[in-house]
Structure 1
Amino acid sequence: MPTKATTNSSSRRSLIVLGVMMIGIGLLYLLSLLTFQESDYAAVSRLGFGDLLDPSSRSATLVQNWVGTVGAWLAHLSVTLLFGVFSVTLPVVLIGSGWVMIRDLSWDRWLRKVVLMTFWMLTLSTFAGWFALEFDSISSVMSGQVGFMLASLLQGLLSWGALILLLTALATLSFMTFKVDFSFLLNLDVSAFTQWVKQRLSSMRKLADAQKEVPRAAVSRPSEPQADTPKSSASSPASASASSAPPASTPAPTTETPASTQPPTKSSEEASSSSGNIEIVVGQEEEDAGTKDLGRAQKAAASGSKNKFQFPSEDLLDPATEDDTPVNMDEIRRVGDLISDKLKQHNIALKTHAEDDGEDRELRATVGPTVTLYEIEPEDHVKISRIGGYANDLKMATAAKGIRIIAPIPGKSAVGIEIPNSNRQMVHIRSMINKKKFVDSDMDLPIAFGKTIDNEIFMIDLARMPHLLIAGATGSGKSVGINTIITCLLYKLHPDNLKFVLIDPKKIELSLYRHIQNQYLAYVEGAEEPIVTDTSKALGALKSVCKEMDSRYELLKMAMVRDIKAYNDKFAAGGLEDDLGHRHLPFIVVIIDELADLMMTAGRQIEEPISRIAQLARAVGIHLVIATQRPSVNVITGTIKANFPARIAYQVASKVDSRTILDVGGADELVGKGDMLFSNGAQMVRVQNAFVSTEEVERITAFIGQQSHYNQPLVLESDEAEEAAGQGDVGDVDSLFIEAAKTVMLHQQGSVSLLQRKLKIGYNRAGRLI
């Protein structure tokens, strides 16, 4: 008996210790969730699991979570990937279990409560996911990935029946948890409420009839049967009679559209003919640089090069024909009136602003090449989230192909509603590269994607991004976007300063660039073709880029500089010796046209070199451009996504795909054919991608390829070759040693560059052979 009592006492002490530990861990867990910050994951994602405990790391100092890097990682796992904000149930369960152990309470009752709390967590998370699917203003952090996936599944199976099912589940859980008796609903006297509703409907009907009769009496004229429109019925008699006057007797106001934004091809009368309810703004074309300025800028880019290279002329591109289709002012007014009327039907009041011409306007329409942005400013008492909930109503009222609501517009106290134009204007690549904004740009890797809604050229510097993730459905313009990137860089950078590594699992998308292999392409030594089309060889190509990255970091270390620009400046000034392996380092742009094919064949193996390059290669001038037509979580994994803050989304099939690439909805409402959204984390810009035809690409590459000043491309050292060379004994030699010796004897001299040219191998391997 004493032995049994001692055993029970020891077991009891163990339970108390375990309970105290569970309560402590649960409190830390709860504190990490309460101090969760979405920005913490960007810092934590750059650390390995073993580095999470290292407080000296730079990323660890950026974490704002009160429990440090471990808390930030745990909070991200729970909130983002599991059950959203309702993941607080998990530490509550942990703390409660510890308390049950300490107090030696009944486990049966506690387990029933745990099951009930679990159902509450799943139901509320799914309910929040349903709201996130229906309303873009609801953050996906509320539901987490689990709740969002469950809501997507239910909505796909039941549509609006999913809401009924979730409400039923909430009512059932409320009954089981709080013992709510719903029988009182059967005894309610609803007669008073029904009578009140009837009175309200009757008074609203009388008021509507009165509003219809007054404008008719005020504007009824024998010669104007068309004056009875929804717009005239909502206006006052004075404004109705003024708007019905002949156009010749009405002076054209000059404040309708500012002079700085009026296109030269549009008359001021047409640009200012908008009604008193809407202000129409048409962006002005930017100034051309001219062929001479373009040639001068290209010569400046090639200055200092020992090889004379002739840049392609803009004459190789199709002429940017002037679009003579005028802006349909009547359509813009009609759509603006429909938006205003539909919002007022839902009791969303809009502010009016007095203009210089004395008229009050509720809307401002900015006409772009693809869409028109309607800006509205709701009254102070109106919740902005309500406007986003009426997206489908506005889409049906305006008969638009797609509608995107920006609530609010960043930097403005207004809400934006983007609606596609009935007549789209094509944006040509020639109209991008011959503008002063592109020619005079001092960016390292300038890319002119297209035009914004304000008709401004949208440019980015790939060197500052520093990588780009592109997604879009088939036929949305993704391949044209890649051609735009390459074309802009070919027109701006000398071959000595730029090299491409092209990986094309589709085998046909990038095949046009074979002509420029000696000028602009870099490929792995021993490769049969400069463009990687075999998915089994793509992994080796990316590993070779990683080796080039490591080699460049060694050169920067020896030169005691921090980035490629400082290194090249120091090398050009003669501050670095060639004997130590120093050389001019060009920018390397790695383009992967279809990531999904690589992920299907290589999976995690392909993810590792992509993550290494994305994390480390910016300082040494290596940049990634990855495109896919399947923006799913299996292709765009969390590791890849965390290292690509700059993303482009063309039209996608669903809101889930849009959230995968952009973290928000909107890409599913694009209209295709180059219509895209660019996001760099801080801003979201809608752009009409410039069009580059296949014939234009063929002319450009043929012109560059016929120049014989370059007799070899840049060759990257094969990863397999170095591994094979490093696995032998001390007496083993490289397989090319005999051929290298013959080459040196034949030319009576030996150098690294000689072996590179004659044996077509990389710099590091040639250095070992010497």
Structure 2
Amino acid sequence: MSAVMEEKTFRGLREVAVLVFFASALFFFIALVTFSNEDAGWTHSGTTHNIANACGVFGAWLADFSLSFFGLCAYLFPAIIFWHGWLFCKGVKQPQEKILMALPWLGSIAAIISGTALLHLYVLRIGVELPRSTGGIVGEEIGDTALISLGNSGATLFLLVLLIAGITLITNLSWVKLMDIIGKYTVSLFQMVFRPALNSPQEKRLENPVDAAVIPPPKKKSSTKKNPSISVVPHIEQAVAKVVARVEKSSNSAKKAPPKPTKLYKSGESVLPALDLLDNREIRVIGYSQSDLEAMSRLVETILADFNVIVSVVDFHPGPVITRFELQPAAGVKVSRISTLSKDLARALSVTSVRIVEIIPGKTVVGLEIPNREREMVTLRELLVSP
């Protein structure tokens, strides 16, 4: 009787724990979805007394703290809580060894760290209100460090491998089996869609009756046999004459030597033509005017400020093909953050592309090269005259 009571008590406690898991996950998710920068939170004091978050003051603080540190990856926390509640509800037994128990948690940490860094590097803006960047504080630190240490391609490869490893440790997923399953269903879908079209001509051919081949009757052999007439004609002299003619022709072709190349001119001192033979280009100003350059300087500062990158344009140098702006980053601003915003700068400035020069010898500024609206023609005379 006591065993039955203990089982009922344990079942009731497990159901209560499952309800707590599910309610916590739902509360966390609602707090994240209804986050507002106007609410008082962990990073700021707020602008209004009314709390816009559906979960109240605690929900505003929880959402602000999670989104500030982990960015969009904070939305994984409600899913993780819900998943653990589901496992507890199903009564899935956890491994007894400490190493096996720690592997899913290590995988979760690896997946969240790599996910925040990838979001910071490649997802700059999204239609969700956030207190900081899409990767949060963790993504900014990990992503910028990996970008400086490993470069763009190396950092991306390292973070993707870390993300896949984390997912594998969490779910015990076999990627080989997953690829086999995807390939199997792809082949089945291909056969289901294209097999009728491929088999229809053959089926039509099989449906048509095959006409019987008409075989002519065999001819009767005549009883009388005729002896073949053999005529012997001597061809020995003609064959010998052909061989002699070929040998004479090959000997004549071997005797002909190739002609020696003739020199077009005698070697000696030569004088380069004068540069006066080339025409001077008409001086025509096509690039940006002084007012345009000033306006573009302010526009560049405003665009970068929208991404929390504070710089000041200290100088600009217009050229025949591109115009280079010299940017002085504020204290604490990393050059790699400016480099990752090249496409956003090009889109905001309505140009095809821009180039970020991270290091200019002899200066502490960062170069921003923008193509001119119309490129000036550089003549051959200008190239030869220039030092």
TM-score normalised per structure 1: 0.25
TM-score normalised per structure 2: 0.45
Q: Select the structure that is richer in strand.
A: 1
Q: Select the structure that is richer in helix.
A: 2
